[in-house]
Structure 1
Amino acid sequence: MQANSAERQSLEAPSPMRVSSGLIHGLPEVEEASIFSQKDDEPMLFHGHYANCMEMNAPVQIVLDYMDAHRDWFPRCAHPMAIEPLSANGYALTIGQFGAFGYEVEPKIGLELLPQDHCVYHIQTIAIPNYESPGYSVDFQATMLLTETESQHTYIDWELNLEVAIHFPRFIHALPKSLVRSTGDRLLNQVVREVSRRLTRKVQQDFHTTIGLPMPKKGRH
């Protein structure tokens, strides 16, 4: 993912993604997020497990070479998210604005794509230097497994475990907990769905344009 040159500049989103509770729909391809019971003075913890697959019309080694060159393709594929390089494999991402009940957050998280090991990549949360998130924290742990078929297509199966802790303002705690729970579940799912769907499409298009091959037909063989 589930997305310029070696001296890349930050890509600022001209129209960042914005999601409110009124635009949320179900996410059938993933497990529903869940919320852990917390006291009012503690953050609410939302957790979701997500999985999907992306097909590439090329042998696995070509896909690995492309994935390893993420300093080139990730910033342009992640747009309109704002991207800042943190290290050779790390980035700070500003995802967009999300909210409900008049409370909004603009998540900014640090992610590191670890070097692949036997066709497996791991992505994990890292700290962003000199940045403290305002009222929330994110634990992002993802795995990508690349598998080549007999027809020399490559499938990237990815799984994501995501935990978000939010310190809600007092007026949110005055609302029914069941309402906050269901809204938070749907909002988390909507964020993951929108980002992963857009990033998957852009990465597929960028990869096949880069190597000069047509996009694969839909469906797993």
Structure 2
Amino acid sequence: MGSPKNTDNYPWGTLSLMQSQQPFIQDPPVADVPHQGPRRFLPGFVRRLSSSTQLELTSRQPTHFRSDFVGCMDLHANPQTVAEYLDQHPEWFVRCAAPIQAIPEGDSGYILSLGRYGSFGFEVEPKIGLNLLPQDEGIYRIETITLPDEAEQTYLVDFQAALQLVDTPEVASPQQGILTKVEWVLDLGVTLFFPRFIHRLPAQLIQRTGDRLLNQVVKKISTSLTAKVQDDFHQSHGIIPAK
């Protein structure tokens, strides 16, 4: 996967922008912080775009952006309790996603409206469909749902994530109590079909701006969602985490 290019530490864990397998331009690292996020289960559990899908997109003259992210969320309970909570996501996901609008889709899916983003006079109001799959041998996967009007959009999103529960008895203490870490990885690809005037700009400028914007969107959403899930879990189970 390569070494991290950009790392931001949050109170709830670590979010890292790691080097993609596909070349792209990135800003210099903002800090020299050792990588703390999980990597060991990324290759086997996150599926990348197939070559046939990439060929189909190429015929529409796309611009691709792709990055890998890792993170970790601490929940003060045993893994079984955390797993039961994650299995019951219809009871809390829409509430925790706010202010992002999340509309349930089927038994395990959601359509999220992410707001408005853009640069250089080109803006999109992206929506993404996510399917929260049932756990498989302790691994929770989240995959993209095809949107009904996807063929008419100026963008495509490929979201492949995996979550793993890690029991941490070695860090448990009377002060902290039992602690389970939810380690997650995300392989995120975005394809944009820019209007002609955008392609008059330098390709490196387009790539650098898109990569930076993608990083900002993921950090903003993951920070909010993770904090709300933590609060909701602890409050619903009557747990007061140690400071």
TM-score norm. by structure 2 comes to 0.73
**Structure 2 residue aligned with 1:168:** 194
Q: Could you tell me how far apart the structure 1 residues matched to 2:242 and 2:206 are?
A: 41
Relative contact order (alpha carbons < 8 A, sep ≥ 6): 1 or 2 greater?
1
Q: Could you tell me how far apart the structure 1 residues matched to 2:153 and 2:60 are?
A: 16
**Structure 2 residue aligned with 1:120:** 139
- SS for the counterpart of 1:67 is helix
Q: Structure 1 residue 128: deviation in Å?
A: 2.6
Q: Structure 1 residue 103: deviation in Å?
A: 0.8
Q: Could you tell me how far apart the structure 2 residues matched to 1:112 and 1:64 are?
A: 17
**Structure 2 residue aligned with 1:153:** 179
Taking a change above 3 Å as real, the CA distance of residues 172 and 209 of structure 1, as seen in their structure-2 partners, is same
Taking a change above 3 Å as real, the CA distance of residues 162 and 201 of structure 1, as seen in their structure-2 partners, is same
- SS for the counterpart of 2:17 is coil
Q: Could you tell me how far apart the structure 2 residues matched to 1:99 and 1:130 are?
A: 20
Q: Structure 1 residue 88: deviation in Å?
A: 0.8
TM-score norm. by structure 1 comes to 0.80
Residue of structure 2 aligned with 1:31, choices 18, 30, 46: 18
**Structure 1 residue aligned with 2:42:** none
Give the partner amino acid of 2:126.
Answer: P
Q: Structure 1 residue 31: deviation in Å?
A: 1.5
Q: Could you tell me how far apart the structure 1 residues matched to 2:60 and 2:225 are?
A: 36
- SS for the counterpart of 2:147 is coil
Segments of structure 2 that go 5 or more residues without pairing to the other structure are 1-5, 9-15, 26-56, 173-177
Paired-residue identity, %: 45
C-alpha root-mean-square deviation of aligned residues, in Å?
A: 2.1
